[in-house]
Each structure stands twice: as structure tokens, then as C-alpha cells.
Amino acid sequence: MSDASPYDALLLLSFGGPEGPDDVMPFLENVTRGRGIPRERLEAVAEHYLHFGGKSPINDQNKELLAALRRELDARGLGGLPLLWGNRNWEPYVTDVLREAHEGGARRVLTVFTSAYSSYSSCRQYREDLGRTLQTLAEEGRRLDVDKVRHYFNHPAFTDVNAAAVADALGQLPEQARAGARVVFVTHSVPDAMNDVSGPPAAGGGAYVRQHLDVAGEVARRASERAGRTLEWDLAYCSRSGPPTQQWLEPDVNDHLRALHADGVPGVVVAPIGFVSDHMEVKFDLDTEAAETAEEIGLPFARAATVGAHAEFVAGLVDLVEERAAQARGEAPARPATGALGPSHTVCPVDCCRNLRADLPAATGEDYRSPAVAGA
Ligand SMILES: CC1=C(CCC(=O)O)c2cc3nc(cc4[nH]c(cc5[nH]c(cc1n2)c(C)c5CCC(=O)O)c(CCC(=O)O)c4C)C(CCC(=O)O)=C3C
Ligand SMILES: [Fe+2]
């Protein structure tokens, strides 16, 4: 019998995205407030959204994931566990969602981020969103506690579903491009400085890249087994922003495709392991821009699916919910992980994925102290 106690609600915490053309600029202002993104970059990114009718794909993808999570929870006898959805940058905003949950009786909420890796952008910034929310609710006299599931980049469900997707995409390449095809794993670029401080300080930083390399190697190994031959692979990056003076992780996927073509590689599978669903970065930066680059140079190109709401991935997330709940009850559940890094920490250590701009309260960390509750 499944057990999610001591948690009384589960929250999917995500990025948020615009629902139509009028939302695009206000959304981008929410995302970039105080972050020093050049105006030209903002205008270019607004065009990406407008190219798709001003609507981000991310909200519908989250709704699909929520429906799949609901089915899996119900199937495991967790039909009574409320499932919530909140975002950082667009409605439904996480503060509103947790306020309403508190009103409905929730006191201890477990969260799953729609992001699998360690870094300020992919982990700590969500923890700060929760920290700010708990501060707001405390000022309103509401006490709520939150925890999160561990990073799932190396959970077997994540690596397995990605490996099947790579093998499928390989099969979509024209016959003559298949044998020597390269797998190009892609993730979101971040500033070098952000990568340098990613993960627990005790591990020496650089966790963002290290985790991706670990997943890439494991996914390639599993996809090679499926394909019956050893697949060569690289890691490339997309969606660089920020001023040109700042160093971000490279190579850019477009540059890398050109370099592979120049080396005589006959085809590529582009596998966006850095994304859990087909976000705008996947739809625009890969399916539109990188696909155009490949077309231009005559390089056969197939894009591997993201995990999305795949049943095996969803089951893995619910396994992680059960695992975290068991830990919260003082039990020692199995913590499966693929690759060389082992299961990630349960509670983020002090200065994990440090914020280089400001020191803000970040919930679900070792040094986090719940704010004083007004009137308590
Ligand atoms: C590591 C990472 C993830 C993966 C982890 C996770 O999933 O959270 C991610 C996700 C996402 N990023 C997204 C959108 C944007 N990110 C931006 C800006 C930035 N992202 C960064 C990093 C990441 N971002 C960084 C270092 C910046 C620079 C500014 C800053 O330091 O904050 C900007 C501003 C314009 C621009 O400069 O591109 C936009 C519009 C969307 C929504 C997509 C949709 O609508 O489908 C999603 C899921
Ligand atoms: Fe981003």
C-alpha cells in the first residue's frame, strides 16, 4: 500500500509561460526582472513566442503531466492526495496556489520541480520562489512546510525513457545516415559562473555539467544496447542569453552541427536531455533553428522526444514521491540511480547552487528556517 504521509499535498512547481500574444511581454518582464538581459535578446525571444501564436507550449504540457500524475497516484491508492500546480513566472502563481491549499487544510507539501538538474536556474531559483511564498503566507498568519524530491536526472526512469527516445530517433534517420550518426545531447546553456557554483560546495561545483555528462553517457550506453552498436555522443548547448561579454557554456548546438558536418559525420540525433518536455527552447531553438541549420548544410537530423508525460517517467516521479515520504517518516527506502554519481542529496546543503546576485531565503535547504508566523 502506498503512503505519502506526512505530506498532505503534492505540488508540481514549474516555470510558467504566456497563453497568448498579450501575455508575452509581461511574461518576459517577469522572467528577466533584475537579470541584465539585453533588450535585443528580449525582443528576439518575444519573436520566438509570437512565431507560435504568443502561446508557450509549457502550460499544456504541464497539464498533461498533471493528468498522468493523477492517474498514477490514483492507481497506487493515493487518490486522496491533492495534486497542485504552480509557477514562478505566470499563472497559476505558486504563492496563490499554496495560499489556497493552506485554506483547504494543507500544512506539509511535497514539491516536484519540472527540472531534473542542479544549478541556480534549475533548482535554487525554485527554492527561492518557495522561500518567498512561505514568507508571504507567514505574514498572512499561515504556516506551511515544504520539501522537495531529490534531483531526478539519474533516476532510472529518466535515463531509460530518454534512451528509448534516442533509439527511436536513430530509426527515423535515413538508412545511409544511421551507421555513423552522432548523438548530440542538448541542454540549456547557463553562464560559466553559474555552472561553477552549481551543486553542493563540498563536491567542488560544476554539478550542472557533470550531471549532464553522467546522464548523456548512461543514455548513450542504453541506447547503444537498443541499437546494437556503440553510439558516439557529445554534449552541446542551446538558448544562450545574457550579454556577449559573459562566458556561457559552449558549444552552441548550431555551431556544433556545422563542426560535425565538416568532420564528415553523416547524420545527427539531437536529444534534449536538459528539458523534461517540449518547451519553447525545444520547439524554437532545436526544432526550428537547429533543424534549419542542419537543413542548410545538408545534415540528416532527427530530434529525440523529451520524457514529457511518458508513463514510465511519471511512475518514476511517483516512486520519488514515495521515497521522499518514507525518508520524512524516518525510514530508509531504496534510492535507485544510474551512472556514476549516486542518488542526489535529499535536502540541499548550505550554499548549494549559490545565488551569485543576492542572498535570499531558499526553502528545502539545510539552513532554511521557517519564517515567524504573524499572530502565532
Ligand atoms: C537552466 C535553465 C532552464 C532549465 C531548468 C528549468 O526548466 O527551469 C531554463 C528553463 C526555462 N527557461 C524558459 C524561458 C526563459 N528563460 C530565460 C532566461 C534564462 N534561462 C536560464 C536558464 C534556464 N532556463 C538562464 C540562465 C537565463 C538568463 C536569465 C536568468 O538568469 O534568469 C528567458 C529570458 C529570455 C532569454 O534570455 O532567453 C526566458 C523567456 C522556460 C519557458 C519555456 C517555454 O515557455 O516553453 C523554461 C522552462
Ligand atoms: Fe530559461
Q: Which atom of ligand 1 lies closest to the CA of 57?
A: 46
Please indicate if the annotation marks 126 as binding a ligand. yes
CA distance 99 to 91: 14
ipTM above 0.90, yes or no: yes
CA distance 306 to 57: 13
As for how many domains the chain has, the answer is 2
- Please choose, from the candidates 111, 102, 87, the residue with its C-alpha nearest in 3D space to the C-alpha of residue 4: 111
Residues 288 and 172 in one domain: yes
Provide the pLDDT for residue 1.
Answer: 58
Q: Could you tell me if residue 360 is inside a domain?
A: no
Residue 242 CB–ligand 1 contact under 6 Å? yes
| Contact present, 162 and 304 (Cβ < 8 Å) | yes
The neighbouring-strand residues paired with 113 are 13
Residues 102 and 173 in one domain: no
Three cell numbers written together for 91: 499563472
CA distance 176 to 229: 15
Provide the pLDDT for residue 216.
Answer: 98
| Contact present, 219 and 163 (Cβ < 8 Å) | yes
Q: Could you tell me if residue 2 is inside a domain?
A: no
Give the domain range for residue 265.
156-303
Q: How many CB atoms lie within 10 A of CB 288?
A: 15
**Element containing residue 148 per DSSP (H, E):** strand 145-148
Ligand nearest to the CA of 195: 1
Residues 53 and 168 in one domain: no
The CA–CA distances, whole Å, from 23 to 26, 41, 49, 171 equal 6, 17, 10, 39
Residue where a domain terminates, one of 268, 303, 338: 303
- Please choose, from the candidates 115, 148, 127, 104, the residue with its C-alpha nearest in 3D space to the C-alpha of residue 328: 148
Provide the pLDDT for residue 100.
Answer: 98
Q: Could you tell me if residue 355 is inside a domain?
A: no
Residues 163 and 251 in one domain: yes
The neighbouring-strand residues paired with 295 are none
**Cell 520524457, residue located:** 307
Q: Could you tell me if residue 368 is inside a domain?
A: no
Residues 97 and 188 in one domain: no
Between the CA of 358 and the centroid of ligand 1 the distance, in Å, is 19
Residue 211 CB–ligand 1 contact under 6 Å? no
Residue where a domain terminates, one of 303, 336, 364: 303
| Contact present, 8 and 40 (Cβ < 8 Å) | no
Residues 24 and 121 in one domain: yes
| Contact present, 137 and 94 (Cβ < 8 Å) | no
CATH number (domain holding residue 266): 3.40.50.1400
Specify burial of residue 258 (Cβ count, 10 A radius: 0-12, 13-18, 19+).
middle
Residues 194 and 287 in one domain: yes
| Contact present, 92 and 86 (Cβ < 8 Å) | yes
Q: Which atom of ligand 1 lies closest to the CA of 58?
A: 46
Three cell numbers written together for 133: 511564498
Q: Which atom of ligand 1 lies closest to the CA of 18?
A: 45
Residues 110 and 162 in one domain: no
Q: Could you tell me if residue 364 is inside a domain?
A: no
Q: How far does CA 267 lie from the centroid of its chain? A: 27
Residues 18 and 133 in one domain: yes
Residue 122 CB–ligand 1 contact under 6 Å? yes
Q: Could you tell me if residue 336 is inside a domain?
A: no
**Cell 525545444, residue located:** 282
Residue 154 CB–ligand 1 contact under 6 Å? no
Produce one character per residue of 26-56: b if its CB has 16 or more CB atoms within 10 Å, e if not.
ebbebbbeeeebeeebbeebbebbeeeebbb
Residues 73 and 176 in one domain: no
**DSSP symbol at 289:** I
Residue 57 CB–ligand 1 contact under 6 Å? yes
Q: Indicate left, alpha or beta for 28 from its phi (over 0: left) and psi (-120 to 50: alpha).
A: alpha
Residues 185 and 115 in one domain: no
Q: Could you tell me if residue 1 is inside a domain?
A: no
Residues 138 and 34 in one domain: yes
**DSSP symbol at 18:** -
Per-residue pLDDT tens listing for the chain (376 residues): 578 999 999 999 999 999 999 999 999 999 998 887 888 888 999 999 999 999 999 999 999 999 999 999 999 999 999 999 999 999 999 999 999 999 999 999 999 999 999 999 999 999 999 999 999 999 999 999 999 999 999 999 999 999 999 999 999 999 999 999 999 999 999 999 999 999 999 999 999 999 999 999 999 999 999 999 999 999 999 999 888 899 999 999 999 999 999 999 999 999 999 999 999 999 999 999 999 999 999 999 999 999 999 999 999 999 999 999 999 999 999 999 999 999 999 999 999 999 999 999 999 999 999 999 999 8
Interior angle at CA 274, CA 215 and CA 9, nearest 5: 100
Provide the pLDDT for residue 243.
Answer: 84
Q: Could you tell me if residue 31 is inside a domain?
A: yes
Ligand nearest to the CA of 26: 1
